Copies of this chain bind each other. A is one copy, B any other.
Amino acid sequence: MKVSFDLLRSESPGLFEDGCPTRAVLDHVMSKWGVLVLMALTDGTRRWGELRRTVDGVSEKMLASTLRTLTADGLVTRTSYPEVPPRVEYALTPLGEELMERMMPLMAWIGDNAAGILESSRGR
């Protein structure tokens, strides 16, 4: 059966209304850098510097802020090793893995169709 917005709301009324927790999660998870960081972590544990290189174009400020948000949301773990030089590793939590299982098909589709989508909007 087709999954529609009405169907989701019939199961839990008030879903995705203004102020609903889902709105906050949506903002964190679907944000420009949030998606890209989460995606980079689908390959497994990554160090700060690796993420900085993998997530092409991200500034240190945005990477730090994004990782802090995702960690606070319980989607990403941060492990700091008391060494010199310092080493910090990030990884998906089980919750984050669950999320990405559902997001990766979407990203794969976008990867396949992005060129076609932007054909019509060239020049804006």
Contacts and interface: CB of A to CB of B under 8 A. Distances in A.
Interface of A: 2-6, 8, 11-12, 15-18, 20-22, 24-27, 29-32, 35-36, 39-40, 42-43, 54, 56-57, 69, 72-75, 95, 98-99, 101-111, 113-121, 124
Contact of A102 (B25, B54, B72, B109): B109
B109 A98 contact: yes
B5 A39 contact: yes
B56 A8 contact: no
Given A4-B104, A72-B120, 8 more contacts: A20-B114, A21-B118, A73-B118, A73-B121, A95-B116, A102-B106, A105-B105, A106-B106
Secondary structure class of chain A's binding surface, majority of residues: helix
Contacts of A40: 5
A15 B104 contact: no
A43 B5 contact: yes
Given A3-B105, A4-B43, A74 B29 contact: no
Given A24-B118, A32-B27, A118-B24, A107 B8 contact: yes
Given A26-B35, A108-B8, A120-B74, A3 B114 contact: no
